[in-house]
């Protein structure tokens, strides 16, 4: 698997029409605006993209529109966030079907999980797809934090290629880097508050 996460990867908003449908024209315009502005990738239907407000069909439409409009100029990272593992697996498979370049997966929300359960959650999602997968730590939104040891264990799974840390805790981010720097394969640590 050849994959590289680099540069500015924008967490996109998802434009809607007045009747709450995906605004295809607006989304295509936004994709081009971002790419012409020099971004190196697009996070689609993540926390900034308000994933929680969309049906599966709307997510598929947003993924497809962004992939189609990006035309391979930059990678498209599909947000496959779900409350349950099964839900996230279904979105991961959807992202692969429509041609996403990678997926980003938020920790479960609304439930408390142990680190062992969190490991299994991510391992199950990774095994459901061939796409490169980024773990997504956003404790402020989910109240679930991915421990450094858990990230290290997950980094050994072939298609788990990195972690996006939106915790705002730079000590944690630096520990992710320090503990995965010498990994057997490239492992990317991204940081951004979105």
Is 40 inside a domain boundary? yes
Domain count, the chain: 1
Question: Which CATH number covers residue 77?
Answer: 3.20.20.70
The side-by-side arrangement of strands in the sheet containing 133-137 is 9-11, 41-44, 76-79, 102-106, 133-137, 160-165, 188-191
- Three-state DSSP state, 103: strand
Is 2 inside a domain boundary? no
Q: Is the pLDDT score of 1 beyond 60?
A: no
Is 101 inside a domain boundary? yes
Is 103 inside a domain boundary? yes
Is 4 inside a domain boundary? no
Q: Tell me the pTM.
A: 0.93
Is 3 inside a domain boundary? no
Q: Measure the CA–CA gap between 103 and 126, rounded to whole angstroms.
A: 10
pLDDT of residue 190: 93
Residue 177: Cβ-neighbour burial (10 angstroms; 0-12, 13-18, 19+): middle
Please confirm, yes or no, whether 20 is among the known catalytic residues. no
Could you tell me the two tokens for 84? 């349950």
Pick the catalytic residue from 77, 91, 119, 136: 136
Q: Is the pLDDT score of 193 beyond 80?
A: no
Q: Measure the CA–CA gap between 15 and 127, rounded to whole angstroms.
A: 32
Please confirm, yes or no, whether 164 is among the known catalytic residues. yes
Pick the catalytic residue from 77, 91, 164, 176: 164
Q: Domain residues for 49?
A: 9-191
What pLDDT, in 10s, does the model give residues 110-128?
A: 888 999 999 999 999 999 9
pLDDT of residue 31: 98
Is 1 inside a domain boundary? no
């Amino acid at each position: 698997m050849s994959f590289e996460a680099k540069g500015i990867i924008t967490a996109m908003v998802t434009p809607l029409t007045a009747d709450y449908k995906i605004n295809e024209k607006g989304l295509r315009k936004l994709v081009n605006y971002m790419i012409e502005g020099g971004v190196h990738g697009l996070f689609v239907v993540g926390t900034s993209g308000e994933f929680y407000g969309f049906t599966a069909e709307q997510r598929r439409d947003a993924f497809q529109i962004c992939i189609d409009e990006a035309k391979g100029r930059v990678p498209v990272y599909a947000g496959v966030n779900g409350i349950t593992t099964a839900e996230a697996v279904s979105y991961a498979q959807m992202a692969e079907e429509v041609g996403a370049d990678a997926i980003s997966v938020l920790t479960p929300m609304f439930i408390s999980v142990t680190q062992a359960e969190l490991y299994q959650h991510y391992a199950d999602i990774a095994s459901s797809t061939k796409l490169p997968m980024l773990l997504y730590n956003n404790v402020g939104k989910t109240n679930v934090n991915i421990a450094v040891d858990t990230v290290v264990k997950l980094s050994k799974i072939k298609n788990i290629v990195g972690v996006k840390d939106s915790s705002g805790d730079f000590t944690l981010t630096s520990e992710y880097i320090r503990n995965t720097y010498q990994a057997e394969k490239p492992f990317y640590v991204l940081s951004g508050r979105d």
